[in-house]
Amino acid sequence: MEIHIALHETLRTFKPKLSASEIASRANVSPAAISEFRHGERDLQVRTLQRIINALPEDIKQHFFSRLFSTPALTVWSSSLNPEAFVELSSVMSFSDMGQVLAAAGESMMSSGESV
């Protein structure tokens, strides 16, 4: 997938949580530059794109890269992923991806001796 499409889809998916204007502010980039890039109307320098990606929260960055490389957003359970975050991410995950994450969570808990 092209970078501008992956960024566009990611920002659209997480819009209620984080606006493109907020990302622009964090990355010290104009909102217009992000908008034009998202819609394929402008190219960005590598450093500018890197600042935009670095401005994304970790869960949104993970989703961006999963879109970019067409891989599931979460295939490995992370103990830092709390239930609220999982519920939030589940709205953008396929049932197959959710099943993989939950199976990995169960395996992780069982191997560490945690109760389910």
**Domain regions of the chain by residue span:** 1-71, 72-116
**Which segment of 3-7, 20-24, 86-90 scores lowest on mean pLDDT?**
86-90
pLDDT of residue 65: 86
1-71 placed in CATH 3.40.50.10300 = no
CB 3 within 8 A of CB 64: no
Burial code (b: 16+ CB inside 10 Å, e: under 16) for 74-87 equals: beebbeeeeeeebe
pLDDT of residue 89: 60
Q: Between these two residues, 17 and 24, which has the higher pLDDT value?
A: 24
pLDDT of residue 33: 94
The tens digit of pLDDT for each residue in 57-86 reads: 988 888 888 888 875 544 444 555 556 666
